[in-house]
Structure 1
């Protein structure tokens, strides 16, 4: 039987590639030093994503297994790191009107949140999966720029939980499947929805080219 994580990796591949090529994340596809304004866009998108994951997990705050798995995300530390980096950059930009407008863009929530394990599990999968490249990005950012890197430092720590997360989910899947029909396919569907959500957020901050 195919591992749920193998199925997730294969089934989300096209969305993952699309995300990497979507502004502002396409910044990392170039060899040039990161632009501060684009980097700030990345951090703002990720802050909204991480907060939305927190909302989804909170919906299941009476589910002991979900709560236990969520502890692997280091939610408080990650959000605090993002907010610190954003504050640092906005101070450099003198907290101009453009930055305030940027924050107001994110009025979109992850839609149709259901009280089911698959929504939370898929959110954790995308969260921790994204942490796997954090150490590489951290080294690159430190060597090519003077940008604040609290977020990527926090995500590098998150990456340490990846193996434990997969092991715990594998052991808990039978009990999750007993309470949610088609949980494997639901996890894949919802993981793709999370990638689509990130792509949509990126499109909302895409700069408009002047004529």
Structure 2
């Protein structure tokens, strides 16, 4: 049942859209870091494919899809080329990029969860791997760019939480034998909207209870 949620062509198209928007975010960071064209391409590839590679290696789906489908590998390079030549225009549409990134987050947390379950993982492990699929590329991007990963920065709007909600929605549907194209689409939409609301209202995860540390936050330090 899990392999038949969407037709292969629709699934492939959705994957490429998600890969493209994630690659845009990676390429933009490389431009802001003043990297050369090779660095832009590398960061675009890592951001777009990192989460899926991690998932496929863990579940034993080898060789990973990124190496068996040329479209998966070429799409980030197209995004990198677009940013290389048109990065001022792309940055001016950052709001649109953020919206597409939120859509990619919702899509990948759902497809990552369903693929992990289809390969025999339990519900909890499947949900965890779905989240890793959605956020893994961004974590690798930040590490390579020598940044504190956005995933663990308290001053960033919720990112992993929407992916967790989407992944948990999927495993609940699986558990109650209710997963189909409609409920999986609802899970994508839920994660997508939650991420948009987090960006709109700057929702953030709470820090340690009754925190009284005298240390200075990285974001509060003088440059």
> What range is the shorter-chain TM-score in?
0.3 to 0.5
Higher RCO (C-alpha under 8 Å, 6+ residues apart): 1
Q: TM-score, structure 2 length as denominator?
A: 0.35
